[in-house]
Amino acid sequence: MQQDRRRSQRHALRGLAKIRTSASTFPRDCWVTDVSDGGVRLFVEGLEVPESFTLVFDGDARPRECRVVWRLGHEIGAEFTDGRRHNFAGDLVRAQRKK
């Protein structure tokens, strides 16, 4: 049995976010499949995602700085590198549900 090493609770989230990279002029869409206070799982097609990028969530005014932790096909797991925001994931999920 594999041990769960997450430091914060993961929340399922089906929604769009935008990836900004230093090489790209325009933000590109990606799907968020789950999020925690410490990181995010994304589904990205048609974009070569660099090791570090900025993620802009719909409904959250502050972009998050990220670093890729793992890749599996079109799925990417990334950690937030801009510091931990307490209950970020829960607040984001509640905001998405209100729409």
The predicted model scores a pTM of 0.84
* Of 97, 98, 93, 95, the residue nearest 9 (C-alpha): 93
Tell me the per-residue pLDDT of 59-89, one tens digit each, with 9 for 90 and over.
666 899 999 999 999 999 999 999 877 888 8
E strand segments, 2-95: 11-20, 28-35, 39-43, 52-57, 64-72, 75-80
Fold of 11-98: Thrombin, subunit H (2.40.10)
Tell me the per-residue pLDDT of 33-60, one tens digit each, with 9 for 90 and over.
999 999 999 999 988 899 999 999 886 6
How do the domains of the chain map onto residue ranges? 11-98
